[in-house]
Amino acid sequence: MPFPPELLNGGEQVVLDLRPHWWYFARQGAALVVAILIAVISLVFLPAPVMLAAAVLLAGTLIWFGWHYLQWTNTNFVVTTDRLIDREGVFNRTGIEIPLERVNTVLFHQTLFERMIGSGDLVIESAAEQGAQPVPNIRKPLQVQNEIYRQMEANENRKFDRFGAAGPSVQQSIPE
């Protein structure tokens, strides 16, 4: 589900609305494939008690995968024209909102494998009590980092444009 527009401030626009990279499902997906193979093999070749155990294994793995999918659908990393928003949780929700003016540095980390699949982690350092905010499993973290810096610059330019509305007359009155 996309980030709800009613949670945006006046004049604020969503630039990026991201969910974690598909790699987020790697362990659960691999376990599900193995459980399906075990269930199929036990259905064809093994006695009923083993089929029952395989069915229980498959059901448990499906529940684990489903829970992880539900967590994935309720995780958002949003870049707007004014702030960064990171929210997650199904029943208990947690989140942080960082105004773009408060962002000091955006770091990214990718292993060689993550570079090949287009995944990685961001760490956002801000002038807040928590300091560094990790954001794991971001799709194309280098492009996201660049977009955050573009929005920071655009936000700063908008701020100066608002203050500059009265400024040109002052600047023009200074003799050269």
Query: Can you spell out the DSSP letters for 51-87?
Result: HHHHHHHHHHHHHHHHHHHHHHHT-EEEEESSEEEEE
Q: How many Cβ atoms sit within 10 Å of the Cβ of residue 144?
A: 20
Cα separation, 89 vs 97, whole angstroms = 15
Cα separation, 50 vs 38, whole angstroms = 10
Of 107, 99, 106, nearest to 158 by C-alpha is: 99
SS3 call for 131: coil
Q: What is the pLDDT of residue 9?
A: 85
Q: What is the pLDDT of residue 162?
A: 66
SS3 call for 171: helix
Q: What is the pLDDT of residue 46?
A: 81
Provide the whole-model pTM: 0.77
Of the listed ranges 47-61, 102-116, 123-137, 150-164, the least confidently predicted one is 150-164
Q: In terms of DSSP H, where are the helices of the chain?
A: 26-45, 48-73, 112-117, 141-163, 167-172
In which band, very low, low, confident or very high, does the pLDDT at 171 lie, cut at 50, 70 and 90?
very low
Q: Which two tokens stand for residue 7?
A: 């949670």
54, 38 in Cβ contact below 8 A? yes
In which band, very low, low, confident or very high, does the pLDDT at 164 lie, cut at 50, 70 and 90?
low
